[in-house]
Amino acid sequence: MKRRIFLASLLGSAIFLVPRLALAQPDSTWLADEAMLSYHMSHPMHEVDGVSHAARGKGVCHAGWCDFLIAVPVKTFDSGDTNRDLHMIEATKGAQFPMIQVRARFQQAETAEPWIHADLEVQFAGQTAHYAKVPFERTQQGSEVRITGSIPLTCSDFRIDRPSFLTVPIKNEIPVHVDMTWHAR
């Protein structure tokens, strides 16, 4: 009888340990291989997209959480119109604050899921804005992981005076689409 109780308690303890061991994930470091960030600006007279391929990033997953940093120079966004790009750098104070930085934090378990929901801190134009649980689609391609999604930025989030065309300002929303490929180091 004592032996059965001992075996039952041992088995019960093992049942509680298995989920903890299954959730334990090794530490990992991630580096960005390819990156495309694009913004979309809308005005009643026209739509504009600016693209940068100059973003760099690194991430570390440890103790159940992942912390990523992505940085891109403001001057690397190209809308196809040099004058517009120079005005964008001026409007966003790009000379004074030349880098856009995005810090992302999410649960490490999501690195194996089709969607990652990241809390973001974006530093842009000398201001910082926070966005909670922004969804990014995650797809595995061999040893690389592709992350795509949009950050819902607005001019008002960063105290940017909206540029005008024919006295009509652009829309406040300037979503930034993210398309990055990462690999574990």
Residue 65 lies inside a defined structural domain of this protein:
yes
Answer yes or no: is 15 within a domain: no
DSSP string, 1-65: -HHHHHHHHHHHHHHHHHHHHHH----EEEEEEEEEEEEEEEETTEEEEEEE---EEEEEEETTE
- Give the mean pLDDT of the chain: 87
| Residue 42 resides in a domain | yes
Q: What domain count does the chain have?
A: 1
Q: In the predicted model, is pLDDT for residue 20 greater than 80?
A: no
Tens digits of per-residue pLDDT, 104-130?
999 999 988 999 999 999 999 999 999
- pLDDT at 6 > cutoff 50: no
Pairing of strands 46-52, 168-169: unpaired
What is the percent of the chain with per-residue pLDDT over 70, rounded to a whole number? 86
CATH number at residue 174: 2.40.128.110
pLDDT value for 46: 82
Q: Which amino acid is it at 106?
A: F
- List the domain range (segments joined by +) for residue 95: 25-184
Residue 90 CA, chain-centre distance (Å), reads 25
Q: What percent of the chain clears pLDDT 90, i.e. is strictly above it? A: 68
Q: What is the pLDDT of residues 133-173, one digit of tens each?
A: 999 999 998 889 999 999 999 999 999 988 887 888 889 99
Query: How is residue 154 annotated by DSSP?
Result: B
**pTM greater than the 0.95 cutoff:** no
